[in-house]
Amino acid sequence: MTLYIGREASKLCKRICAETITEINLLLENWKYLLAGLIFQYIHGLAARGVHYLHRPGPILQDLGFFLLPELGQDKAYISETVFTFVFLSFVLWTFHPFIVKSKKIYTVLVWCRVLAFLVASQILRIITFYSTQLPGPNYHCREGSRLARLPPPESAIEVLLINFPRGIIYGCGDLIFSSHMIFTLVFVRTYQKYGTRRFVKQLAWLIAIIQSLLIVASRKHYTVDVVVAWYTVNLVVFFIDHKLPELPDRSNGSSSLLLPLSTKDKDGKSKEENHKLLNGNAGDAADWRQRTQVNGKILEEGNAVHDTAMNGA
Cis peptide preceding 246, ω within 30 of 0: no
Residue 295, φ and ψ in degrees, nearest 5 = -130, 120
Contact 234, 186 (CB under 8 A): yes
CA–chain centroid gap for 70, Å, is 30
Q: What is residue 126's three-state secondary structure?
A: helix
DSSP-assigned states of every residue in 220-277: TSS-HHHHHHHHHHHHHHHHHHHHHSPPPPPGGGTGGGGGS---HHHHHHHHHHHHHH
Q: What is residue 190's three-state secondary structure?
A: helix
- Compute the Cα dihedral for 209, 243, 295, 299 and give only its sign: negative
**Total length of the chain:** 314
Helix axis angle for 78-95 and 199-218, nearest 10°, is 150
Helix axis angle for 108-132 and 2-54, nearest 10°, is 20
DSSP conformation class of 307: P
Which residues belong to the active site?
181, 222, 226
* Neighbouring C-beta atoms of residue 284, cutoff 10 Å: 16
CA–chain centroid gap for 280, Å, is 34
